[in-house]
Structure 1
Amino acid sequence: MGDETFVGGLSIPQRSDDSLILLQDARKDGYDFITTNLPHSSSLFRRDVTLIESKWWSTSIVGNVASPNSYKSEMDTDTSEKPAWNFGQDIITALASNDAQASSQAEQQLMYMLDWAAHMNIPAVILPPITATMNKYELDCYGRFVANNGLKASANNLQLWVRVSFHPKAIENFHKFHRMCDGALNVGCMLMMDLEAVNYVTEASLSQSMDLMHYFIGSNLRAISFNTDVFLSNKKGFPTLPKSIQFLFVEMLKRLGRTCRVLVEGVPLHYLDNETDVPQGHDFEEQESSPLGHSGLLLYIQYLRHLRSKDEVKNVIDTEEAKMETGYLDHLQSALQPLGDNLEFSTYEVFEKDPVKYARYQDAVEYAIRDKIQLGQLRTEPTSQDKNNISILVKIFVVGAGRGPLVNASIRAIKTINTKYTSILGNNSKIQIDPRIVAVEKNPSAVLYLNSLKRFDPNWKVVDVVQCDMREAMNDQFLSDIILGDEANKVDIVVSELLGSFGDNELSPECLDGFQLSGLLKENGVSIPQNYTSYLAPVTSMRLHAESHAHAFFPSEPTQGPGGKPCGVLQAMETPYVVRTHAATQLHEELPCWTFTHPLQKEGLPLQDAAQNVDNERYAEVIFDLGKEGKAAFGSGYQKVNERLTLLAKSDIGKGLNERFSNESYTIHGYLGSFHCLLYQSVIDQTLSSVISIAPSTFSVGMFSWFPLYFPLREPQIAPKGSSAKCIIYRKCDESRVWYEWCSEIFVNNTTINTSPLHNPNGRSCVVRL
């Protein structure tokens, strides 16, 4: 049936009130689920409830709200006749009726449908559509009903998928609707790819359509439906999507292909010119009927699965990295307390598998050593055997060594120099690096691991292990001897991996300043990393915002366990979270906030004195023009910018865009924090540099050690067309804590129209302990 992450469903209007035969036919054709019209009254009867086991209702059947006046058995209807779609619009019209009796009846019918779906343990219900032209009062009445009943549905683990037209005004209406429902996590949208969508994509530019799809992805997109009448026919009669729709669908699969359901709706409208024709790559030996399958709609699901199997999709969501991160998608995690807590063995193990980070660190150490050799900053002496063989002493400190991956990276860098650069001094001398590496770690359990490596790994004979908080070096005898000794015996290179998702949020500045203040570093000593910059970008993500809100029920102190006092909404919504963004829409290129540089240098002062009384507080105002096209290129805020979409937007802008097809407004649910870090840049050859980054514009492809840091807004902000967003963010410190404070403004033509409260003032909800 193809890739397990692709879940395809089937909806045939004439057969949607009796699920038994349809489910059998659909599963034979490779569909994973079907839809059934929900009954609106207990006075009705249906055959399937007496014949289908509960396991099928709970896994393979999705409910559909249809207008009750069309509820009748249509099993004998000719399925080749194109139906009039019954998506339940009439019941919403009745709900908003001035006739109190009609309105009450519609509400009772809807309530019965949802109750019956919960009774049958149906996993999801498809609700009537929200369109671009929907009456405001109807939208309000619709939102009121779902707001009143959504919590009950959530308690029953019932997902509500609201049909939404592919149009900027329709998705704007859905955002208003979703706010009326208090941002409920179980209320998502199902994008309708129908003829209206085709017309929109035809008239709008492809980049505008892609930006709209991009916005849908952050709007809790749970499913996408394709009416059979949107498919074209190829030369042999097989169904195929219009090129523009196909492009949008494939790009959506790259983003949400692991979680978004796909639904085929309608009757068969495509027939093979020759029924002996078999689609390439498909085997019909198991099909008892024609190649059209048991349902008559086999070709549609095969075509959609074919799009899912394209290399450009598989290379994004079927890689080992993608599989490993699946459990983290949109899962909020508290940022680490690196000085207050000790990491577990398994946590170290996971991050050590990063294929990119330690390779970049190895390059950085290599470049730094080569520079120091060529600058004559390392002690050299001839070997006793041959005066042309030069031994070069280099002292490297790895602070926060964990289980030693940076030590290993440093050892590999030294081996590379000894192997490849034997004549780096530019004469006939052959060099041999003689390293002295010190691994400093405060976690006593990790220190045991480091000592074990020193005992059993021959490469670690050049390593000394010190258990110490790097800020308290004078309290350790080994380190204090270096501090009080000769300058020549101090540290040439200090290497650390103390960065957090926002760069400085795991106290790298405080730790490295403390190391510099200790006096361990030579005056010409270097730090790896050399500098790192924090970035912010606005994000639309109903899912992240709802997940943040759900943390209100988590214990305020994790050590208290499930029985602990809940932290409450205020604390939950004023806490930054580490998250692998997935169902999220970055609305603008990330912009810089501030930069930290190491070691700190002040003119005329020794390095140790330059680290006295350092002020690590920061402040930034970051302004985002939300009117820019090409937003889709920034994806979810994690992974590299999509250059293909960037070029598409530039091309379309050059041709001129029709403003009629631009988004009416955007909802901002918070800001995503990321970082760009220069580990080392050669002072001799500027082309040699080593960088790690999770900022989309410079993302280190293949690196997974960090996910973005999500700064939620207590209440989402609506940014109308032509507006800009400003995030004001502070990094604050006192003698025992570091914390962030942030707020957001929306303004048009320098006039502020919406301002959020300041989040986390004085660190009342979230701090990092020093």
Structure 2
Amino acid sequence: MDGGDQSGEKRKQISCGLYSSCPASLKAALHSAFDYGFHFIVTQITHPNYTRDLNKPDSPFFIGRTDRVLKATEWNRLIVGELTTNIDVDSEIEHVRRVSKNTLKQELGFAIHLGIPAVLLHLCKPDNVHLARIVNSHLVSNSCFAVWVQVPLVHPSRTSPISDKDIDSWEWWNNFRIHCDYDKRVGVVLEMPDISSIPSTEELDRWIGEPVKALVIPTSYFLTNQYGKPVLSKAHQEIIRRFITIDVQYIIHLDTEADFFMYVKYMNFLGKKLYSCDIMAEFVQGCEDYLQCPLQPLTEHLETNVYEVFEKDQVKYDVYQKAIYDALQEWTEERNPVIMVVGAGRGPLVQAVLNVSVLLNREVKLYAIEKNPYAVNTLAERVRREWGSDKVTLVKTDMRSWKPPEKADILVSELLGSFGDNELSPECLDGAQRLLCPRKGVSIPASYTSYLAPLQSIKIYNEIRANRPSDKTLRQVFETPYVVHLANYQQLAPAQALFTFEHPNFAAYIDNRRRKRLRFGPVRQACVLTSFAGFFEAYLYGNVVLSTNPSTHTPDMVSWFPIVFPLAEPVQLRAGDVVQVSFWREESTDRVWYEWCLELPLRSSIMNPNGRSYHIKKH
């Protein structure tokens, strides 16, 4: 495969493996596959020529090919070892069970000896608890290989005219990985269904939320185009398009006589054809499922790289500029309006106000208020070189404590976090609204609402569990929300509105504490609840809206990744289950925090009570 796209054309790098069943020469098979563009091969690490009767005390020394047929670097980079397919440690027949157990242990031990990166095993029935126990015992003993569990993407019973059961192979996989405690080294390999068994969108969504390592594609599923080249049907291409988003690998299974070079070439072509390189895809590249702690902008000065990320999103500032334009266009007084940008950062909203002033040919009196001394340094330079002190008055202070020489007609801010209020926009704007003219002063944004949705993402669950800082307990990391660009996930239901805040708020007593119970479902298929994802919708002015809610997301806007509120343990959901969650926003004199708990289908303890593991500081 090409190391890069020299033409500058955007494509998704495709990793292809070749299934090679007991080749006569493993070295020749590997080098041939590598020469044709494959990245690895899947093959048995034992060999049928070596008979192994492990029940006899004088069993032969031979297990399989000697490890000397390949270099150590080839074994541990290029080989996925398939375990013997007729192993059945869960058999009802004691003899079969005993022989299978001995064989399995020997092959897993041989895999450790060879140093191969992954072993592939097949699930052929729903009950695999003994198999899971043996595999898990190697995992907890710190075996270095990953475990690839192969199941049909759609079980053949779905379309079989003689089957009286509708078997869900996802259940086989789910039961197995539960027994292995959701170990991140256990992934699933899916057999591509034939054209008569294409899964529903819901089924694909569920698999997209799983740790899928590879998709097996038999060559018999390929069609022949007018040029005599192999191609996949539109339906199969759509399946691959969905999995491209989570970077799965593809295993070509030669079940027909064919030149396998053409299949690699075609898969690389699909990587270019099916890859949707939109603005969001370019912006988030490398950030997929990466955990970030939410910002603490009131107590920690933002750094240059954070401001740069904010400012890359021109769509957001275009929407803000539209809101400012609409507000100024409705200005009817003869005097010049007073506009204050609070939390001005490095000045993108200041520039937006000046742009509108030019577009409407209307002079404005503009203040830029910022407390970060290093951002103020940038603002001062922009005032001196770009804007002019006659256009912009720079104020270095906290918006909540500044005593202005005059009242503002319009207050503009971009204090929203991934959850709307999680960077304390309500507290900041409530403190700054005394800068506004009473009764007629305008706040941009005027209101914002947080949204919540149930989520399945074992990837995120394992990222939280595996990346615990040394100074935090496991409980603390699961009681902390994270900002994440979600990729390997399934949203289990549409997001629902949670908390709403409006500005200005001239109520005699302002209480920004909130509590709400949300009910989702019933879910239509079995799945796993691991967390809740948070989004927001903000009305800036009139009908000008910014949204990260998936159903109303502002097109091409890349700011604000979702926020994820974890559960301490994954919760198994059956088809028809309802998910009910209670959520609180609480505060004290110096901090704000969230608490949450599951009420249905089971009750959980309340997460993050009194903000013990996570809170947002006010000062």
Same fold, judged at TM 0.5 (above)? yes
Find 1:5's aligned residue among 9, 13, 22: 13
Tell me the secondary structure at the aligned position of residue 610 of structure 2: helix
Q: Which AA in structure 2 matches 1:34? A: I
1:683-762 aligned at under 5 Å gives the runs 689-747=543-601, 754-762=602-610
Q: Name which of 316, 338, 341 aligns with 2:297.
A: 338
What residue is the counterpart of 2:79 in the other structure?
62
1:701 aligns to what SS in structure 2? coil
The answer on 1:213 being equivalent to 2:200 is no
| Structure 2 letter corresponding to 1:569 | L
Q: Distance in 2 between matches of 1:173 and 1:444?
A: 58
- Alignment partners' CA distance in 2, 1:217 and 1:135: 21
Match for residue 370 of structure 1 among 329, 334, 346: 329
- d(CA) in 2 for partners of 1:194 and 1:321? 31
* Distance in structure 1 (CA, Å) of the matches to 2:107 and 2:435: 72
Show the counterpart of 1:574: 479
1:412 equivalent in alignment to 2:355: yes
Counterparts of 1:532 and 1:573, CA distance in 2 = 27
- For 2:522 and 2:366, locate their aligned partners in 1 and report how far apart those are by CA, in whole Å: 50
**Letter paired with 2:581:** C
In 2, the alpha carbon distance for the partners of 1:678 and 1:471 equals 22
1:499 pairs with 416, 430, 435, which one? 416
Aligned 8 A contact 2:218 2:254 in 1: yes
Select the residue among 123, 130, 134 that pairs with 1:130: 123
Measure the CA separation in 1 of the matches of 2:546 and 2:74: 48
Q: Mind listing any 5+ residue stretches in structure 1 that lack a counterpart?
A: 68-87, 202-207, 271-295, 381-392, 419-432, 483-488, 556-564, 601-606, 629-662, 682-688, 748-753
Amino acid at match of 1:674: F
Matched-pair contact (CA < 8 Å) for 2:528–2:571 = yes
The one-letter amino acid paired with 1:696 is: P
For 1:660-692, what per-residue CA distance to the aligned partner results, in whole angstroms no more than 9, with x for missing partners? xxx3x11111111001111111xxxxxxx3221
1:304 aligns with 2:234: no
Q: Distance in 2 between matches of 1:501 and 1:95?
A: 53
In structure 2, how many angstroms separate the alpha carbons of the residues matched to 1:319 and 1:509? 33
Task: List per-residue Cα deviations over 1:328-378 (Å, max 9, x = no partner).
Answer: 100111111111211111111122111211111111111111112xxx2x3
Relative to total residues, which structure has the larger helix share, 1 or 2?
1
- Asked whether 1:467 is paired with 2:387, we answer no
1:165 counterpart residue number: 152
Shift of 1:398: 0.9
Structure 2 CA distance for partners of 1:96 and 1:340, relative to 1, 3 Å: farther
Which residue does 1:260 correspond to in 2?
248
Relative to structure 1, the CA distance from residue 145 to residue 51 in structure 2 (aligned partners, 3 Å threshold; closer, same or farther) is closer
The residue number in structure 2 matching 1:486 is none
Q: What residue in structure 1 maps to residue 186 of structure 2?
A: 187
**Contact kept? 1:526, 1:599, Cα under 8 Å:** yes
Cα separation, 2, equivalents of 1:23 and 1:142: 29
Q: Secondary structure at the match of 1:90?
A: coil
Cα distance in 2 for residues equivalent to 1:535 and 1:700: 15
Q: Which residue of 1 aligns with 2:40?
A: 33
CA distance in 1, matches of 2:392, 2:30: 65
In 2, Cα distance between equivalents of 1:506 and 1:619: 18
Of 182-191 and 30-39, deviating more is 30-39
1:106 aligns with 2:103: yes
Q: Which residue of 1 aligns with 2:511?
A: 615
Paired position in structure 1 for 2:527:
666
> Measured at CA, do residues 531 and 4 of structure 1 come closer, stay the same or move farther in structure 2, by a change above 3 Å?
closer
C-alpha separation between the residues in 2 aligned to 1:712 and 1:51?
47
Distance 1:309 1:100 in 2: 47
CA contact (8 A) 1:576 1:710 kept: yes
Secondary structure of the residue that 1:759 maps to in structure 2? coil
Name which of 537, 544, 563 aligns with 1:676.
537
Compared with structure 1, are the counterparts of its residues 344 and 617 closer, same or farther at alpha carbon in structure 2 (3 Å cutoff)?
Answer: same
* CA distance, structure 2, for counterparts of residue 464 and residue 130 of structure 1: 69
Contact 2:581 2:596 in 1 (8 A): yes
1:152 to partner: Cα distance: 4.3
SS of equivalent residue, structure 1 residue 457: helix
- Residue type at the aligned position of 1:708: P
Task: Return the alpha-carbon distance in structure 1 between the equivalents of residues 551 and 600 of structure 2.
Answer: 24
Partner residue of 2:337? 394
Q: How many residues align?
A: 586
- The CA deviation at 1:43 is 3.3
Which residue of the partner structure matches residue 457 of structure 2? 541
Residues 769 and 327 (structure 1), Cα distance of their counterparts in 2 relative to 1, 3 Å cut: same
**2:522, 2:270 → 1: CA distance?**
32
Contact 1:530 1:678 in 2 (8 A): yes
SS in 2 for 1:215: helix
* In the alignment, structure 1 residue 554 sits paired with structure 2 residue 472: no
- Tell me the residue number matched to 1:511: 428
| Structure 2 residue identity aligned to 1:142 | L
Q: Distance in 2 between matches of 1:718 and 1:141?
A: 21
Deviation at 1:598, TM superposition (A): 0.8
- The 8 Å contact of residues 436 and 442 in structure 2, kept in 1 or not, is answered as no
Distance 2:380 2:189 in 1: 56
Matches of 1:115 and 1:460, distance apart in 2 = 70
Tell whether the 8 Å contact from 1:91 to 1:106 is kept in structure 2 after alignment: no
Q: Work out which of the residue numbers 541, 566, 587 in structure 1 matches 2:492.
A: 587
Question: What SS does structure 2 have at the residue aligned with 1:758?
Answer: coil
Alignment-derived partner of residue 148 in structure 1 = 137
Change (3 A) 1:266 1:448: same
Distance (whole Å) between structure 2 residues aligned to residue 164 and residue 366 of structure 1: 56
2 CA distance for matches of 1:240 and 1:440?
Answer: 60
Distance 1:463 1:586, change over 3 A: same
> How much does 1:220 deviate?
1.0
C-alpha contact (below 8 Å) 1:9/1:262 kept by paired residues: yes
Structure 1 residues 454, 410: closer, same or farther in 2, change over 3 A?
Answer: same
* 1:401 CA drift (Å): 1.0
> CA–CA distance in 1 between the matches of 2:210 and 2:73?
30
Q: In structure 1, what is the Cα distance between the partners aligned to 2:260 and 2:517?
A: 55
Give the aligned partner of residue 287 of structure 2.
328
Contact 1:736-1:769 at 8 Å conserved across structures = yes
Aligned match for 1:765, one of 597, 601, 613: 613
CA contact (8 A) 2:591 2:617 kept: yes
Q: Which runs of 5+ in 2 are unaligned?
A: 3-10, 53-60, 155-166
Q: Which residue of 2 aligns with 1:632?
A: none
| Residues 53 and 583 (structure 1), Cα distance of their counterparts in 2 relative to 1, 3 Å cut | same
Residues 113 and 694 of structure 1, relative CA distance in 2, 3 Å threshold = farther
The CA RMSD measured in Å over matched residues stands at 2.4
Following TM superposition, by how much is the alpha carbon of 1:436 offset from its aligned partner in structure 2, in angstroms?
Answer: 1.6
SS of residue paired to 1:356: helix
1:43 has 2:62 as partner = yes
Change (3 A) 1:320 1:57: farther
Distance 1:521 1:161 in 2: 64
Matched, 1:597 2:502: yes
Q: Distance in 2 between matches of 1:21 and 1:93?
A: 36
1:4 is displaced (CA, Å) by 5.8
